[in-house]
Structure formats: structure tokens, C-alpha cells
Structure 1
Amino acid sequence: MKISRPHVQNKPTSRKKYRSVGYSSCVPYRCAIFYNSGLRFSYGFSAFKEGKPYLCSHMLGIDEQYRSQRIGEKLKFAQRDIALAKGYDLMVWTYDPLETRNGYLNLTKLNGICDTYVENCYGEMEDGFNKGLPSDRFEIHWYINSDYVKHKPAITYTNAVPLAEVTFDEQGLPHLKKLPTKSLTEAAYSLPVPKDFQQLKTQDAALAREWRFATRECFTQLFTAGYAAIRLEQHEQWNTYIFVKKQTLPLGGN
């Protein structure tokens, strides 16, 4: 199996860095599944936060020729089955919130939520996927034994209030235009993000940085006000995050 990113020069992640995002122990196990003739893998380890154990689902890899076949989703559910059998009720992992393909899997398909934003989570990274931007991350919480995950109840957000809109310049590149907001008190909010962030980085690296810092501010304000990201809606020209009050979600007391 070959799973790689171009020009990877990153140093191995240190125990100190794991601790900076709340991972205090490292007791690994692996979950591997064969599809057709290829191997995809999911890797995790036990961690603790405020004395409570959870499973950090740290890595997931799929060979490029097998992507877009729902294998990532199947790997996560296979890892969930193992986690439940071992007594966990929470799985945690991170992803770049501007990489919306991952957002769609984590929030819309799996019913994970995010109310934690980690600025420059892994420090400066030099691979082709991350180079040139702070490694900001959403920390996904997947409450695997909750009604929210097991039964996927309908969450009303049709009247989500937009915090910004997308405009396009003469080159057809997207820009974020924030809308006036007095205070965050509505039942639901929405925030647009680029359709293809990697392509935007290639077209205009400075504009990609603008998106990073502008969305960082919005995400942080929402999470501080008690909202959680619950969905990633896909549209033709951009994608949209949906946020609701975390306390309204049936997370089993979490």
C-alpha cells in the first residue's frame, strides 16, 4: 500500500505535542481492513483528559485508487466497534476545517461534532498538503454511545443565520465577506468555506492565508459562545458549516 503526500519533511510528532492537544497517554492499537486487494488502515491510542479515558483516532489512510468508495466511513465504524467493546464512549481526532472533504465525513456522515479549535495544532508543517499555513485544526468529538450518533436525530437548522458570505473577484477566486453580527444568540449559524482549499492555495497562497485567519476568528467566537459545528453542507461553488448550541444535542450528558 502506498499512502503519501508530496515532499514530506515533517518531524515525528512528539509526546509534548500530543499533550498540547489533550493526549496524555499513548497506548496504541491498530485497526486494519482489506478491501478488494488493497489495505487501508486506521490507527488510534488511549488518551485521558481531565481524568476521563477516550480513544484518540490519530491516523486513517486510504490508497488514492480506493478513495471515494466510503472506505473511510467504514474504517471509522470498524474502529468504533472496537472502541465500544473496550468500554470507550468517546473518540477524538483532528482535521483541518478548511479541508471540507474531511469535514463532510466527520460531521455529516459520522455525526461527530466540534466545539474545540486548536490554533497551529502541529506547528509548522512542510509537506505539500500543509506547507505555508498554520496547522489549525478542528478537534472532532465522536460520542459513539450517544443517541446523537446511534440514532442520528433530526436537527433543525433551516433558518441558520449566516455569519458571512462568499464573493468572487475578477479571477473567479472566492473571498469571505463577514456580515454584521451584534451577539451570538440565535439557534443556529452558518459559515461558508472554500470548495477546494488545496486548489485555492495553488492559485493564491495569500488569499488562502486570509481564509485561514478570518475563519479562525469566526470558529473561535462560535465555540466560545457555546456552539458546536454539526454539519458540512456541500454546494456548487462553496461549502457551508452549520453550528448549533452544543447543549441542545443528545450527547448522553457530555
Structure 2
Amino acid sequence: MTLSTHLRSVADHAHLTATDAARSAGVSVHDERELPGFASIEALFSLVWGLPPREPPIPAELLRSISHAGCNVTAAYDSHGTLTGAAVAIVSPGDTSMYSLIAGVLPGTADRGVGFALKLHQRAWGLARGIPTMTWTFDPLVSRNARFNLTKLGAHAGEYEQDFYGPMHGAINANDDSDRLIAVWPLARQRSVDCSEARAEQPELPIFPVESVRSLGPDGDPAVIDDAGVWWCRVPEDIVRLRAQNPTLAAEWRRSIRSVFTELFAAGYVASGVTRSGWYRFVSGGQA
């Protein structure tokens, strides 16, 4: 595929920012192509998702097939050669988009920037092949992941899928409904470029009067705010812990968020960022 001058320039820049992110995280990031590496990735994903070794999210033989088909299997190794993270993406028909199947980092390394390095490597991989967009799904209740996707990377979401995967197991999902947001990441957009340079806009919840509160959360505190046409919606600080400690309350949050998000998306709003305290920012679709 022949790239336009603009896309080639963005792709070259993406390679540089991906290299910088890997260096900052203290890892080496590359496309995995060897069977031992696929086996290590299988084991890592089982650990991250709290699944038995014989029930991995993606088995090594499937990872090998994905790589052999020309799709993306990315691995990050530290200076000791230990696998610290991995990400997998396939390419949609027509090479118009990448679809990220799964990504995870070794427990205890989440704050080192390994996940960021993995995603920037995937971004550079896609742009080098003329692919302008990446999509994936994520749980809207996991505020840490939501902030990473929408604020750190610069993706946006305007589609809500109820119980997308059906029943799920493992320590992370804890048999909760598998509702998901669809993240859309325009890889060459200026916002994505800014984010790749660690210049992401940081949304800040405005100081709001009581009349701006539209509804309370299951915990009784304000959860939905209308600030002059910009909507804000709060999710729990740690839904994984809440699921373990109070599954009934966690289920109430699921139903509440499902209702709010679907109504806002139907009205033409898009989730464009998440604050550190777990507030989603919704703007009209043209502002995302």
C-alpha cells in the first residue's frame, strides 16, 4: 500500500513516539513471531484475567495463527527478558481498521507505562500499513481503563453494547454482565498525535451547582451532571473491588450506567474523556 505524504509523515512520527514510550517504560517492544513467545503471552493473559492455565483468553496456537495471517501480536520485555505486557489486534476487511482483541500488562507494572508503549507500538504498526483507525471494547465501569483509553490515548466512544460477550468468568469479570463501550481511536488525528507525545488534554470536572445534578448514583452521591450542554457521569472508583465486596451494589451501578450511557449516545453525545476521579465527559459528536 502506498501511503500519502501526510500519512507517511504521521507514521514516521508514530514510530518515534512509540520508541520513546518503550524507552520510558524500560521495555523492548516488538512483534512476536515465535512459538515460545506466544506461550508466554498465553500465560500472561491467564494471569491478568485470573483464569486457570488451561482456560486462557487466547491460546498460543491462536496467537501463532493471528501472527501468521499478518496481523499484530505485540510483546513487551524488560531488561531481564521478562514478558511484562502484550497486545493482540486483527485487521478488518479492506484494511480500513484494526480491531484490538486483548491487551494486558504484568500485575504490579501498570504504572510504568508498559500499556502505553504497547498501544503506541500498535498505532505505529497500523499507520505504517495505511490503517487509519483502531477499535476495541472495554467495560465502562472500569474507570482506570476508561481513562487510559479516552484520555491517555485520545480515543472516543459513542456506542454501548449490552452483555457483549455473554457470561464471562475469572477474577476480573466476576460473572458480571459483559456490557462494553466501543472505543474508536483515529490514529492520525491531531488529538492522537498530541496524546502520543504525552500532551493529552486532562478533563476536569467543573464546580457545579446543585441544579446541574440530573441524578444520583447507587451510593446516593451526584452521578450525572449537565454543565451547559456538556454532560458528566461518574462511575465507581474500583468496580473490581466493589464486585468482590458488594456484588448487589455493583449490579446497581451496571444498570444505572447502562441507562445513562445509552440515553446520551442516542441523543448524539460521545464520551471523549475521563477524569482521574472517574467522571466521564460527554460532548456532542462533532466535538469528539
TM-score over 0.5 for the alignment? yes
- From the two aligned structures, give the one with the greater helix fraction: 2
Corresponding residue for residue 195 of structure 1? 237
Letter in 2 for 1:83: G
Aligned pair in 2 of structure 1 residues 11, 32: CA closer, same or farther (>3 Å)? Answer: closer
CA contact (8 A) 1:176 1:211 kept: no
Letter in 2 for 1:209: A
Letter in 1 for 2:165: Y
CA contact (8 A) 1:56 1:92 kept: yes
Q: 2:280 aligns with which of 222, 241, 248?
A: 241
Q: How far 1:59 sits from its partner (Å)?
A: 1.2
2:125 paired with 1:86: no
Letter in 2 for 1:33: A
Structure 1: state its 5+ residue gaps: 14-25, 168-173, 250-254
Aligned pair in 2 of structure 1 residues 164, 43: CA closer, same or farther (>3 Å)? Answer: same
Distance 1:79 1:35 in 2: 18
CA contact (8 A) 1:98 1:194 kept: yes
Aligned pair in 2 of structure 1 residues 11, 124: CA closer, same or farther (>3 Å)? Answer: farther
Distance 2:223 2:114 in 1: 36
Q: How far 1:137 sits from its partner (Å)?
A: 0.6
Give the percent of matched residue pairs that are identical in Structure 1 and Structure 2. Answer: 26
Larger Rg: 2
How many residues in Structure 1 have an aligned counterpart in Structure 2? Answer: 223
Structure 2: state its 5+ residue gaps: 1-39, 59-68
The alignment's C-alpha RMSD in Å is 2.9
2:94 paired with 1:63: no
- Trace 1:98-247 onto structure 2 (pairs within 5 A): 98-151=141-194, 162-166=213-217, 174-175=219-220, 186-235=228-277, 239-247=278-286
TM-score, normalised via structure 2 length:
0.68
TM-score, normalised via structure 1 length:
0.77
Distance 1:6 1:158 in 2: 34
Q: How far 1:164 sits from its partner (Å)?
A: 3.2
Distance 1:110 1:232 in 2: 11
